[in-house]
Each structure stands twice: as C-alpha cells, then as structure tokens.
Amino acid sequence: MPSIVQELSGHRDLGGLRKVVECPAQATVLREGPAQDSGPGAAWLAYLCSVHAVDLDGWPGPAEHPDTGTMPCGTVLDYRSGEQQLQSHADLWLTPLTGVDPAAHEGAWADVLDQADRVLLARVDEAAAAGEDSPLQNILVLMDVARRAADRGNLRVAATSLTYCEIFAQSL
Ligand SMILES: [Zn+2]
C-alpha cells in the first residue's frame, strides 16, 4: 500500500528537503501544498506542529492531514523543479534579506544569486571593518556554492544550497 506521502506527491521523486521554521516540536499535521503546475501531486508537503499549523507565513495549502510526529515541525518535502524552488526561496527570505528581486533579472538565476552574493559580501565586509563577526558569513559560503551551480545551469544544486541558507537565515 502506498504511503500518504507517495499518494499526495503523485509518486514524484523528491526535489528538495527543507526545514522552514526553527521549532523543536514534532508534527501533528501534514499540510498538502497547492497542485503542481503540470502532472499529478502536490507541489510540496509540510510537517507542522499545532502552533505552526496556525502561525506560519508563506506556506498556504488546500488540505491538511493528521500526523503523529512523523517528522520535526517545519520539515518540507519539496517536489518542485529547481527553478520553482529558487523562486520560493526568493519569495520567502532571499529577496527580503538582500533586496535582489528575480523579476528584475528575467529568470537569470546565475545573475540573481551573483547579485545576492555581492550584497551579502558587502555586508560581511562592512561588519569586519567595524571589528564584528557577521552572522551572514555562514550564508555567504553556501550562497557561493549556489551561485556557481546556477552558473553551470544546475538549478537543483543551487536550490539545495539555498535550503541551508534558509536555515541560517531563520536565526538572523
Ligand atoms: Zn512548530
């Protein structure tokens, strides 16, 4: 018998594994994201505790299913393409953090990530000049990986790198 995850995802391969909120609780709810643009299955599945099922921005879904602590709260199984995942990162934290908007780069992700990398580097340099360690340093290392992957056309690796940046960004 297929699991609920296999059924809800339309038996697609996992595109990325994310942790979108820092929370020590186990999930009580499995939220089904919107339908994929093409083909069967949900775009993503999010495991949430009872608090974050009510209070989590940016992850609206059409349906919820009970869960008995399969995963820690905030775990997201993302079934979207690398490009769609990059757009999700931009919407949720990358553009708010850096001011770099993908819409201004017409989908050229290598340019978007290069620009974001420059913004972050300038801030880290600024902090260093003031004798401070910037918390952005962790993000910068992985942003560089993302930037180079996108430059080679590997948007899935770029998106995977941003999943780590996303976790660091939560503690800023
Ligand atoms: Zn939670």
Q: Where are the domains of the chain?
A: 4-78, 82-170
Residue 13: the pLDDT is 94
Cα separation, 136 vs 127, whole angstroms: 10
Centre of ligand 1 from the C-alpha of residue 103, in Å = 31
With residue 47 as reference, give the H or E element that holds it: strand 44-48
Residue 39: the pLDDT is 87
Centre of ligand 1 from the C-alpha of residue 153, in Å = 35
Is the torsion defined by CA of 13, 17, 20, 24 positive or negative? Answer: positive
Q: Report mean pLDDT in 10-residue bins for the chain, 172 residues.
A: 88 96 96 94 98 94 95 97 97 97 94 97 95 92 96 97 96 88
Residue 172: the pLDDT is 87
Residue 43: the pLDDT is 98
* Predicted model pTM: 0.94
Instruction: State which residues have CB under 5 angstroms from ligand 1, the bound ion.
Output: 23, 25, 49, 52, 73
Residue 1: the pLDDT is 55
Residue 84: the pLDDT is 97
Centre of ligand 1 from the C-alpha of residue 123, in Å = 31
Residue 111: the pLDDT is 97
User: What are 69's two structure tokens?
Assistant: 């602590």
Residue 20: the pLDDT is 97
The residue type at 81:
S
